[in-house]
């Protein structure tokens, strides 16, 4: 049996956490729990170089634990280009890559993900309206990209389909990791046309969830939404959102009093 630990949205910089201290505490806890693989579904820092450095340093601290991360939207804001994000920059970076779990018939597939406004179809707005709202109000407007959001999501869907097809050919069970939301069940658009309904469009894509269902993916880890849902079985896939979220004075999303305790409680361990 192989133990896999799941987390997302640690936001070390926003939470003003000592990274050196946290590498020691997290790494020690992972080893004490007998974790073999540690998966991080994005949003470590607001700077990709810092996120990569954290993953590399943690990997050195826990050489017997395989550390893998993908980039969330916060990681993409600084220190990396669109083209670089699409490259296998480091062994710890799992975007559009896979990891076969030794001694099992499981394969872990990672993809950063994106969005295509499909969660907000009921608003009946043209793509440009969503793009305008994003440029005016959303963090992601600072992320450079050569494609429109729907075009970028089409790239993601093509990558994921190719990875899932290879896994099916190899007769592998799949644990899929992405940052953005893959299912509409986690979202709700109100009927009063409120301003923040537009935000729903930027959270992910219903088409990714459809693709995971098409290939009968067993389990999926995502983040982005700083909520605390229980694992849900949706269209045959067990979904896990293990986001730590913000513990600041302005946005107190934690259910505990410290980052480490929140991370420990939010980290889920699966046995494959």
Contact 101, 252 (CB under 8 A): no
Helix ranges (H only) for the chain are 19-32, 48-61, 82-85, 127-137, 149-169, 197-200, 206-214, 259-266
Question: Quick one: residue 113, left, alpha or beta (phi over 0 = left, psi -120 to 50 = alpha)?
Answer: left
Helices 19-32 & 48-61 angle (0-180, nearest 10):
40
Helices 206-214 & 149-169 angle (0-180, nearest 10):
10
Would you state the pLDDT for residue 191? 75
Q: Is the pLDDT of residue 185 over 90?
A: yes
Q: Which residue has the tokens 């990681």?
A: 75
The DSSP symbol for 8 reads B
Q: Which residue has the tokens 């929140």?
A: 262
Q: What is the torsional sign of CA 107, 111, 112, 118?
A: negative
Q: What is the torsional sign of CA 230, 9, 23, 56?
A: positive
Facing residues of 269 across strands? 5
- The per-residue b/e assignment along 217-234, b for 16 or more CB within 10 angstroms, e otherwise, is bbbbbbbbbbeeeeeeeb
pLDDT tens for 125-179 read 999 999 999 999 999 999 999 999 999 999 999 999 999 999 999 999 999 999 9
Burial of 193 (0-12, 13-18, 19+ CB in 10 A): exposed
pLDDT tens for 50-101 read 999 999 999 999 999 999 999 999 999 999 999 999 999 999 999 999 999 9
Rg (CA), the chain: 18
Q: Identify the band that residue 250 occupies on the pLDDT scale cut at 50, 70 and 90.
A: confident
Burial of 39 (0-12, 13-18, 19+ CB in 10 A): buried
The DSSP symbol for 116 reads -
Distance CA 123, CA 201 (A): 10
Would you state the pLDDT for residue 270? 98
pTM of the model as a whole: 0.97
Would you state the pLDDT for residue 248? 87
Domains present along the chain, CATH in parentheses? 3-271 (3.60.21.10)
What are the phi and psi torsion angles at 264 (to 5°)?
-60, -45
What the block records as the tokens of 29 is: 């806890």
Contact 94, 174 (CB under 8 A): no
Q: Which residue has the tokens 């793509």?
A: 127
Contact 199, 181 (CB under 8 A): no
Q: For the chain, what is the mean pLDDT?
A: 96
Q: Is the pLDDT of residue 193 over 80?
A: no
**Nearest partner of 92 among 69, 120, 58, judged by Cα:** 69
């Amino acid at each position: 049996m192989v133990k896999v630990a799941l987390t997302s949205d640690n936001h070390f910089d926003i939470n003003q956490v000592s990274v050196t201290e946290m590498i020691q505490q997290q790494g020690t806890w992972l080893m004490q729990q007998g974790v073999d693989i540690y998966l991080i579904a994005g949003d470590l820092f607001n700077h990709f170089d810092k996120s990569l450095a954290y993953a590399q340093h943690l990997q050195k601290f826990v050489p017997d634990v395989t550390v893998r991360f993908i980039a969330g939207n916060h990681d993409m804001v600084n220190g990396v280009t669109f083209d670089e994000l699409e490259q296998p920059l480091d062994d710890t970076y799992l975007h559009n890559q896979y990891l076969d779990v030794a001694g099992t018939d499981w394969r872990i597939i990672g993809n950063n993900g994106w969005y295509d406004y499909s969660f907000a179809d009921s608003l009946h707005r043209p793509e440009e309206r969503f793009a305008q709202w994003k440029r005016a109000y959303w963090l992601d407007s600072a992320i450079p990209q050569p494609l429109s959001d729907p075009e970028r999501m089409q790239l993601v869907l093509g990558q994921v389909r190719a990875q899932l097809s290879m896994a099916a050919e190899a007769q592998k069970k799949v644990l899929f990791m992405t940052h953005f939301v893959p299912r509409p069940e986690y979202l709700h658009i109100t009927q009063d046309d409120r301003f923040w309904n537009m935000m729903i469009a930027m959270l992910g894509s219903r088409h990714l969830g459809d693709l995971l269902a098409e290939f009968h993916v067993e389990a999926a880890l995502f983040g982005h939404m700083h909520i605390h849902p229980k694992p849900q079985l949706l269209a045959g896939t067990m979904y896990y959102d293990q986001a730590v979220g913000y513990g600041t004075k302005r946005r107190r999303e934690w259910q505990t009093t410290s980052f480490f305790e929140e991370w420990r409680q939010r980290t889920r361990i699966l046995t494959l």
